[in-house]
Structure 1
Amino acid sequence: MRLTPADHAKVTAAVTAAELTTDGEIVTIVANRSDSYHDVALHWALLAMFLMLAVIATVPDFFLGLLDRADGWSHDYSKGALLGLLLMLLAAMFLLWRVVLSWTPLRMALTPRATKARRVRRRAIAFFAVGTERRTEERIGVLLYLSLAEHQAEIVADRAIHALVTPETWGEAMAALIEAVRDGRAGDGMAAAVERIGAVLAQHFPKTPTDRNELPDRLIEL
């Protein structure tokens, strides 16, 4: 899913409109995904390898029988030969799963939702620290971050906002965003979330005559 120029314009307009009612600054970022999750593929490959080892250890005679039937002869294998064969089988299983899980959609599907949530949150905080935190004079910046592949979003706020607004307050904005993303309308969801974030900021940090635009209004797509 990619955002169109119309989506960019819609989100940028929503940020501009929201900031007309508050001294707060809203930054919007959309990323295709927040992590490659190659470590998850490694974990699945290791799990498959150990499961295979457990099965062989449980029914060793069955696998020895398969070896004998492979060439029609009964063999008296040495311990070294059996261990070498076992090692090759385990290595083959590991490599097979590593190759299979190089396909990103499958790797994403097998990544636990909790893992995705942690990675998205970590990436959002990193972006906030670089581009939003302490970048406003009154420290009232908010980052709205959407990671498309995970269908996960985060709202990270500056210290002054965090002191007055509980995380639960952003629930309506998050719900509007995620619902639209699931319908394939990421741009509409971002704009709706920005509108709700602006309403919260306007309640606690209403617009003052001396306020100036300190952070860019445009949507940033990575």
Structure 2
Amino acid sequence: MVKAIQEAEKNTSGEVRLFVEGKCNYVDAVDRAKEIFFSLKMDQTKDRNAVLFYLAMDDRQLALFADEGIYRRLGESYWNDKVKKIIKSFTKDDYTGGICSVIYDIGDALKTEFPYESSDKNELPDEIIFGN
């Protein structure tokens, strides 16, 4: 999955991070994703184009949380469609494939909206973050 993140970020200034934990301490996974997003300072990218993929395995919850720069450009329906795509893969027990596929999709969207420029740098680490 780290390779998928690196590949997704290759041609864009955008950033993608994956946070995995067992249980979600919130009723709504989006609220938990938002908390993590800001605690990881993902809102501090130059173009406000970072995306957090949040997954609570034991509770079977997930969320995509995108910063305002990319969220506004793609719109709510884009993000809802990506969540549906992930869920469809998960119902087929294709967890890795579903996660990677959506990460690649997000990378393509970031490449279109925020193409790579020679002055761009990797602003956030690519490794998977494991919570409690």
TM over 0.5: yes
* Aligned CA distance change for structure 1 residues 182 and 150 (closer, same or farther; 3 Å): farther
State the Cα deviation string for residues 111-161 of structure 1 (Å, max 9, x = none): xxxx4xx2x121111001111432312221111111223332211111212
8 Å Cα contact 1:22-1:206 kept in structure 2: yes
Following TM superposition, the consecutive aligned residue runs of length 4 or more in structure 1 with deviations greater than 4 angstroms are: none
In 2, Cα distance between the equivalents of 1:195 and 1:173? 11
Larger strand percent: 2
2:29 is aligned with 1:29? no
Query: 1:211 Cα deviation (Å)?
Result: 0.8
Opposite residue 200 of structure 1, the aligned amino acid is A
Percent identity, aligned pairs only, is 27
2:35 is aligned with 1:126? yes
Question: Secondary structure of the equivalent of 2:51?
Answer: strand
In 2, Cα distance between the equivalents of 1:21 and 1:28? 19
Structure of larger gyration radius: 1
* Aligned CA distance change for structure 1 residues 177 and 162 (closer, same or farther; 3 Å): same
Q: CA RMSD in A?
A: 1.8
Normalising to structure 1: TM-score of the pair? Answer: 0.54
Alignment partner, residue 66 of structure 1: none
* Aligned CA distance change for structure 1 residues 122 and 180 (closer, same or farther; 3 Å): same
Q: 1:18 aligns with which of 5, 8, 23?
A: 8
Query: 1:206 Cα deviation (Å)?
Result: 1.0
2:59 is aligned with 1:168? no
Normalising to structure 2: TM-score of the pair? Answer: 0.88
In 2, Cα distance between the equivalents of 1:138 and 1:205? 8
Query: 1:171 Cα deviation (Å)?
Result: 3.4
Q: How many residues are matched?
A: 131
Q: 1:159 aligns with which of 62, 65, 68?
A: 68
Opposite residue 110 of structure 2, the aligned amino acid is L
Q: 1:179 aligns with which of 88, 100, 107?
A: 88
8 Å Cα contact 2:12-2:115 kept in structure 1: yes
8 Å Cα contact 1:15-1:194 kept in structure 2: yes
Larger helix percent: 1
8 Å Cα contact 2:24-2:61 kept in structure 1: no
The equivalences for 1:186-197 within 5 A come to 186-197=95-106
Q: Which stretches in structure 2 are left out of the alignment for 5+ residues?
A: none
